[in-house]
Amino acid sequence: AKESGRSGFHFYRSEMQQFATERLKMEKALHHALERDELYLVYQPQVNGQGELIGFESLVRWLSPELGPISPAEFIPIAEETGLIAPLGEWVLMEACRQLRTWQQVVGLPASFKSLAVNISPFQFSREDFVEQIQYVIDSTGVDAAQLDLEITEGMLVENIKAVAAKMYALQHRGIRFSIDDFGTGYSSLRYLQHLPLDQLKIDQSFIRDITEDPNSYEIINTIISMAKHMKLSVIAEGVETNFEENILSSIGCHRFQGFYFSKPLDKHTATQCLIEKKRF
């Protein structure tokens, strides 16, 4: 029994070592990714009940020459643990605002278009100079900030509610909107929401996934939508993959959608083409 325990341990350790080596490789490569121009943004359409474009969510991509394409679900947590999220997050903001400014000034946006969403990591948001950072990006790109939507998560809001609210109000004052990402998966205490300048709740895709089979998910979405109405917030459903899901959602009062049923995330050229053609989804 002792022998097998030992070999079990050895097996475990070598697996762990391999995992650690892979991670270290990725960490090193991520260090260079920014300087070497390996990151880029893609833009997933957000649409209304008529299929008109109401916005895009910008999503970061990393194509490493050594490691191949790596999902943000994998490298964002590493960036957060190593502090690399600071320059990475700044780059994402700058790139998204440059693109938005081009769409605003050069291409032209359809009347239905409301905002470009950018994901903000808790680490970024909690920095003391977050407001200044955003202001710097707005000033240096010349973007109209009224079409900028920052996606934050529930967890960020409960940390230090006074500091959080102060930052959000300062940014709202500059025209920026806030959406709560992955809504329903985090803190269930909703009282704090009332005291913050929020614009929209994004219903997490895990609820949408279960909507047809699980009566609980249906009820949760129903509750989120009526609560949002009561608080005068918009709601958008993310991860919508079927027409069936769209129909259920609109029957309970959700008329903003994002998901593969409408469109996958698009590269910037394709996204721009959609704007020029006033494409419907």
Q: How far apart are CA 194 and CA 157, in angstroms?
A: 12
Smallest separation, CB 205 to ligand C2E (Å): 6
Binding mask 209-238 for ligand C2E (x = CB under 6 A): ------------------------------
Smallest separation, CB 14 to ligand C2E (Å): 30
Q: Is 259 in the site for ligand C2E (CB under 6 A)?
A: yes
The residue among 151, 147, 206 whose CA lies nearest residue 180 is 151
Q: Is 44 in the site for ligand C2E (CB under 6 A)?
A: yes
Q: Is 151 in the site for Ca ion (CB under 5 A)?
A: yes
Which CB, 104 or 119, lies closer to ligand C2E?
Answer: 119
Q: Which residue has the tokens 């190593």?
A: 82
Sign (positive or negative) of CA dihedral 237, 242, 245, 247: positive
Helix (H, G, I), strand (E, B) or coil at 84: coil
Q: Is 241 in the site for ligand C2E (CB under 6 A)?
A: yes
Q: Which of residues 69-88 bind ligand C2E (CB under 6 A)?
A: 71-73, 76
Binding mask 88-127 for ligand C2E (x = CB under 6 A): ----x--------------------------x-x------
Q: What's the distance, CA 233 to chain centroid?
A: 18
Q: Which of residues 179-198 bind ligand C2E (CB under 6 A)?
A: 181-182
Report in angstroms the alpha-carbon separations of 202 from 114, 129, 154, 184, 222: 15, 26, 11, 9, 13
Contact 254, 237 (CB under 8 A): yes
Smallest separation, CB 155 to ligand C2E (Å): 12
Pairing mode, strands 68-70 and 53-64: antiparallel
Smallest separation, CB 163 to ligand C2E (Å): 19
What is the DSSP annotation of 149-218? EEEEEHHHHHSSHHHHHHHHHHHHHTT-EEEEEEETSS----GGGGGS---EEEE-HHHHHHTTT-HHHH
Binding partner selected for residue 241 from ligand C2E, Ca ion, none, CB under the kind-specific 5 to 8 Å limit: ligand C2E
Interface region with Ca ion, contact rule CB under 5 A, candidates 43-51, 131-139, 177-185, 188-196: 177-185
Q: Is 59 in the site for ligand C2E (CB under 6 A)?
A: yes
Structure tokens at 112: 């239905």
Which CB, 55 or 265, lies closer to ligand C2E?
Answer: 265
Q: How far apart are CA 5 and CA 178, in angstroms?
A: 53
The residue among 223, 146, 148, 149 whose CA lies nearest residue 183 is 223
Smallest separation, CB 175 to Ca ion (Å): 20
Q: Say how many residues touch ligand C2E, by CB under 6 A.
A: 19
Smallest separation, CB 201 to ligand C2E (Å): 13
Q: Is 149 in the site for Ca ion (CB under 5 A)?
A: no
Sign (positive or negative) of CA dihedral 25, 30, 33, 35: negative
Q: Which residues bind Ca ion (CB under 5 A)?
A: 119, 151, 181-182
Q: Which residues bind ligand C2E (CB under 6 A)?
A: 44, 59-60, 71-73, 76, 92, 119, 121, 181-182, 205, 239-241, 259-260, 265
